[in-house]
Amino acid sequence: MENNNKIKKAYFASGCFWGTEYWFSKAVGVRATTVGFMGGYVENPTYQQVCTGTTGHMECVEVEYDTNETDYENLLKLFFETHNFSQTNGQGPDIGLQYLSCIFYSNEQEKQAAEKCIDYLQKNGYSVATQLRDATTFWRAEDYHQQYYKYKGTRPYCHIYKKIFK
């Protein structure tokens, strides 16, 4: 039987949640991914509402992972290696506040780990626009958004993997 106290959740926004979910769902130790919204002020927002850019929410992925197989730092590295964290107005062709790059941390350890990754990137010449924000309520998106690329049978067009960390 699985030891549930080794299962944790992490929250990442890096543009279109379909591409973000695609990469996290393939990572070692990830048990489940759910796409949704975080960071706004509207209760239980719909995709249509978030797309207006007026709810304050970002498209976000909840990543459920097993700490026996991976850790938060590995998730952070994958996050940075699968999107353009230097873009300030969205992600690729997806422009707007709902597509910003953001790490929603749940505790001080996660915040410090994220700051360490950002510091590493900046010391290595990268410009980092990624925001760090306290995790708030995660609102699950509609069913038709879940596991989008798995069911479509294709790969993301705006989330390309590029090795950065050693």
Give per-residue pLDDT as tens, 27-51: 999 999 999 999 999 999 999 999 9
Mean pLDDT over residues 20-28, rounded?
96
Active site residues: 16
Give the pLDDT confidence score for residue 1 in this predicted structure: 41
Give the pLDDT confidence score for residue 155 in this predicted structure: 80
Distances (CA, A) of 60 to 64, 87, 125: 13, 17, 27
Distances (CA, A) of 145 to 16, 71, 98, 101, 117: 11, 26, 15, 19, 29
What CATH number does residue 20 fall under? Answer: 3.30.1060.10
pLDDT higher than threshold 90 for residue 105: yes
Rounded CA-CA distance 12/85 in Å is 12
Rounded CA-CA distance 77/130 in Å is 13
| 32 falls within a domain | yes
DSSP-derived pairing of the beta strands 101-105 and 131-134: parallel
Higher-pLDDT residue of 165, 65: 65
| 157 falls within a domain | no
| 160 falls within a domain | no
Higher-pLDDT residue of 149, 131: 131
Domain that holds residue 61: 4-152
| 165 falls within a domain | no
Q: Where are the alpha helices (DSSP H) in 43-152?
A: 47-51, 72-81, 108-123, 148-152
| 158 falls within a domain | no
**Total domains, the chain:** 1
| 166 falls within a domain | no
Helix, strand, or coil (residue 106): coil
Asked if 109 contacts 85 with a C-beta cutoff of 8 angstroms, the reply is no
| pTM higher than the cut 0.85 | yes
